[in-house]
Amino acid sequence: MGQNPVMSDASRDTYWRRARRLTVGLLLAWAVIAFAPVVFARELSVEVFGWPLAFWLASQGALIGFCVIVVVYAWRMRRLEVEVTHAEPAAEGGMTGRST
């Protein structure tokens, strides 16, 4: 296993600022997915396949939305970690951060 390169203060600040922004955005998406069908249940009371649309959104749509939030978080955080850990050594003289 390779060693993790040490991040500079600027890289660490950038990493945490972007991670917090992603987390806040996904928490807002979670709040909308969790509460919008409940708050707007009467406005969404349209029949779809014999069931009220609000019921379907609350039971199935929310579950799908929560799974999408988890996948997006994992994907974006992995990309962020790769960007930060691989950008740092390149700026310091071409080290790749991998041990051979």
Judged by average pLDDT, the poorest of 31-35, 67-71, 94-98 is 94-98
Overall pTM surpassing 0.75 (yes/no): no
Domain boundaries, the chain: 9-87
pLDDT, tens only, 56-80: 767 788 889 999 999 999 999 999 9
CA 27 centroid distance within chain:
9
Backbone angles phi, psi at 47, to 5 degrees: -80, 130
Q: Which residue has the higher pLDDT, 70 or 49?
A: 70
pLDDT given for residue 86 in this prediction: 79
pLDDT given for residue 6 in this prediction: 65
pLDDT beyond 50 at 1: no
| CA proximity to 23, closest of 72, 62, 65, 84 | 72
